[in-house]
Amino acid sequence: MSAPCYLNITVRKADVERFWATLGKDPRPYWNTYMNNQEEDEFGNPVYEATDANYAWYDQLIEAARKGLVFHGSHGCGGSYAAGDFCAVSEKYFEVETVCGDGSRPVVGINEDGGRVEKEIEKAKEYFAARKRVAELMKETQCTGECAGPTAGG
């Protein structure tokens, strides 16, 4: 059974090889190219995109997080799950549901009495704190050469 969705992910340069080894996939089909350049964030960390990430690669991303890899991204909805934004830091995986899975704000439930679901508020706060730490770590990357990712079109 499958439930594929769109997924984009930015991986810390120093973690690229370990990330793809953990996923058990060849990264080349997922490397974005625009005008024959590799897409990277402003700190040189590679950005990948998949149009067929089964169950948003949930199990594989949990495993990558447990290994201490640092990444962030978003995914669309699939058969039985909502769109979401996710990140990993300190060997933990964080995810919040969103409307579109495009970096938009988290969706928070409302009780029958019109009040917010506090558990979801706390989850969103934890996610934002983790995402802030991921952003800090992405700036600190000091990797060149092999761990910078595959070449465009390679």
95-146 tens-digit pLDDT: 999 987 666 788 888 889 988 889 999 999 999 999 999 999 999 855 443 3
* Cβ pair 22, 63 in contact under 8 A: yes
Residue 94 is which amino acid? F
Q: Structural domain tally of the chain?
A: 1
Residue 119 is assigned to a structural domain of this protein = yes
Element (H, E) at 75: strand 71-75
Angle formed at CA 58 by CA 44 and CA 148, multiple of 5 degrees: 20
Residue 151 is assigned to a structural domain of this protein = no
Residue 153 is assigned to a structural domain of this protein = no
**More confident of the two residues 91 and 78:** 91
Non-local CB neighbours of 58 within 8 Å, separated by 6+ positions:
81
* Cβ pair 75, 50 in contact under 8 A: no
Residue of 116, 84, 80 lying closest to 97 (CA atoms): 84
The confidence band for 149, taking pLDDT boundaries of 50, 70 and 90, is very low
Element (H, E) at 141: none
Residue 48 is assigned to a structural domain of this protein = yes
Residue 126 is assigned to a structural domain of this protein = yes
Residue 154 is assigned to a structural domain of this protein = no
Residue 122 is assigned to a structural domain of this protein = yes
Tokens standing for residue 6: 């769109």
Lowest mean pLDDT among 10-14, 38-42, 124-128: 38-42
Range of the domain at 18: 4-146
- pTM (predicted TM-score): 0.82
The string of DSSP letters for 105-127 reads PBP--B-TTS-B-HHHHHHHHHH
Residue 47 is assigned to a structural domain of this protein = yes
Element (H, E) at 48: strand 47-54
